[in-house]
Amino acid sequence: MTLLEIAVDSVTGLDNAVRGGAQRIELCAALDIGGLTPTIGLMAVAAEAPVPVYAMIRPRAGGFVFDAREEEVMLADIQAVSAVGLAGVVIGASLADGRLDTALLARLIGAADGMGVTLHRAFDLVPDMDAALDQAVELGFERILSSGGQPKALDGADVLKRLVQRAGDRLSVMPGSGIRAGNVREILSRTGAHEVHASGRERLAVAPDAKSLAFGFQTASAMETDEDAVRKLKEALG
């Protein structure tokens, strides 16, 4: 049976994902830019969810090369995740050449002691995915979220298949990015993965408020995790 993880960035999205059948939640802020660390308030509410919740730990938009001050922020955020009782964290960090920053990742994993840990799509930027996968195993990650080094998982399916085979039972390789009910079966068939990551987001039907739009308080194309889209994904998984 394939596990369905849904990424959300609001309490509405959280509720919609759970009602739609998500079996694990990736809790974020700002999914429009790939997800940032959620607020402590959203974490506290999500801790009451009936499924495991992993919080994204990413202090800003942009790349994944972090300095000492940003490490302080991430360590404090991991402490907050632990304090509210979430199941795990989603982390990633790069060196300037794109390789995993294993030293920093080891410190972050140490701070997350007792929680599950997922390596996020910083992995997709590494120059050698096979070597990075082996590093992730050695560091103690449970899983790697990846699109196979391509913007969308369907385009990286052949690479994902190789990674799934290389990982074996050492960790899970979880396809993510651009996954919908209409393509999830093909992606799983081509990769052999046993977990899948999606957002189930749909464009909001309500037109944006003109004043809020003019002041920059919202975007013209706001999206939200949709209960029906998540349910269709779950049904497609059988």
- 189: exposed, middle or buried (C-beta count within 10 Å: 0-12, 13-18, 19+)? exposed
Kindly list the structural domains of the chain, giving each domain's residue range(s) and its CATH number in brackets, ordered by start. Answer: 3-237 (3.20.20.380)
82 φ/ψ sector (left φ>0, alpha ψ -120 to 50, else beta): alpha
Question: Model confidence over 211-234: pLDDT tens digits?
Answer: 777 777 777 777 899 999 999 999
Question: Model confidence over 49-79: pLDDT tens digits?
Answer: 999 999 999 999 999 999 999 999 999 999 9
**Tokens standing for residue 22:** 């998500």
Alpha-carbon gap, residue 200 to 125, rounded angstroms? 24
29 C-beta neighbours (distance < 10 Å), count? 18
Residue-level pLDDT at 116 = 98
Q: Where are the alpha helices (DSSP H) in 47-97?
A: 68-84
Residue-level pLDDT at 211 = 78
> For 125-134, which contacts have Cβ atoms below 8 Å and span 24 or more sequence positions?
125/63, 125/64, 125/94, 125/98, 126/94, 126/98, 126/99, 126/100, 127/97, 127/98, 127/99, 128/99, 129/159, 129/163, 130/162, 130/163, 130/166, 132/99, 132/100, 133/163, 133/166, 133/167, 133/171, 133/173
Closest CA to 177 of 155, 203, 198: 198
CB 171, CB 197: distance < 8 Å:
no
Q: Mean pLDDT, consecutive 10-residue segments, the chain of 238 residues?
A: 96 98 98 96 98 98 97 98 98 98 98 97 98 98 98 98 98 98 97 97 77 75 91 96
What is the DSSP code (8-state) at residue 211? H
**Cα–Cα distances in angstroms (integers) from residue 12 to residues 8, 24, 81, in the given order:** 9, 16, 20
φ/ψ of 118, rounded to 5, equals -110, 140
